Amino acid sequence: MEGYRKMDNRKENLTGIKPILYTIVFEIKNQRKKFYFFSLIALIVAVLLGYILQLIPTYLLSDTQAEFFNTGLQFISFITLFAACLFFSGIICSEFDKKTGFIVFPKINKYKLILGKYLGNLVLVVVIITIYYFILGLLGFFYYGGPINIRFLYSYGIAILYVIALSSFVTFFSSFMRSVNLTIISTLIILLIGFNIADQLVTLIFADNFEPLYSLSYLGSLITGILEYPFPNPRYTEFSFSGMGPGGRGGDFSFGQWVTPTIEMGITLLLVFIVVYFVLAAYLFKRRQL
């Protein structure tokens, strides 16, 4: 009878949300070095942009609190991008790289394991972003007084949504890549260089006739774009430069750029990308197991 009770207890431990919670805690402990590193980076950048630069006499303080937040959040997209690539790159591919995907009688359901790992890393990245926003909000309150501009809180919400979209993109790559390092390199190249090059080419060819809504980098611009009041209008701008044309003749060169998507379109597409990339990741993970 005692043996049956032990087996029942083991079955109870393998069901429900307990395995997921255990995995979340384990993943948080396992990734603490990365967390400390990125937290320190977020703290340094926020203090540098929000406080130390203000001590330079030639550096003028922004006229409004919203402008101050806009300036301070210029690097948040880079922090979230690098954090997403490093924290979520091993969600799936590490299980196959370390052969844990071939355990005959696993101690935990594989999908619960993946979900627990993902949620554990998501908690860490959200805390890193929260540290950055908290320091910047504290400095904004110190310089301009209260209350905190409500658009700053909107920006924080979009930053969280953007991180989830990035994490779904990286998790999708992790579902078919062979190693963690290859996933990190591939996603960094695509997010840092690939999307930006594609955006420039599309803008150069189609000008204001085609908005690069496919690009996660472009959608990330909504983090700072939502701070502007009134909202950027027009959202497409052109810059003209005067120079020398062929044969020494004078000439002008114009360059167009999309500033930010609309709030409704940006949020909608981020949600769509999250669903699509997670569904594809789950499908490829299942096929990879087979």
CA-CA distances (angstroms) from residue 213 to 79, 107, 209, 231?
22, 42, 12, 18
Report the pLDDT value the prediction gives residue 5, as an integer from 0 to 100. 41
Task: Dig out the tokens for 58 from the structure.
Answer: 């030639």
Res. 14: pLDDT tops 70: no
pLDDT tens for 120-150 read 999 999 999 999 999 999 988 988 887 888 9
Confidence of residue 273 (pLDDT cuts 50, 70, 90): very high
Confidence of residue 39 (pLDDT cuts 50, 70, 90): very high
Report the pLDDT value the prediction gives residue 240, as an integer from 0 to 100. 65
Question: Using CA of residue 158, residue 190, residue 128, residue 87, what is the dihedral sign?
Answer: positive
- pTM score: 0.84
What pairs with residue 242 in β-bridges? 252
Side-chain-side CA neighbours of residue 35 (13 Å): 16
pLDDT tens for 49-86 read 887 777 777 777 788 888 888 888 888 888 999 999 99
Residue range 92-119: mean pLDDT, rounded? 69
Most confident stretch, 98-107, 166-175, 195-204, 258-267: 166-175
Report the pLDDT value the prediction gives residue 148, as an integer from 0 to 100. 87
Least confident of 19-23, 63-67, 101-105, 165-169: 101-105
Q: Answer with the residue of higher pLDDT: 231 or 254.
A: 231
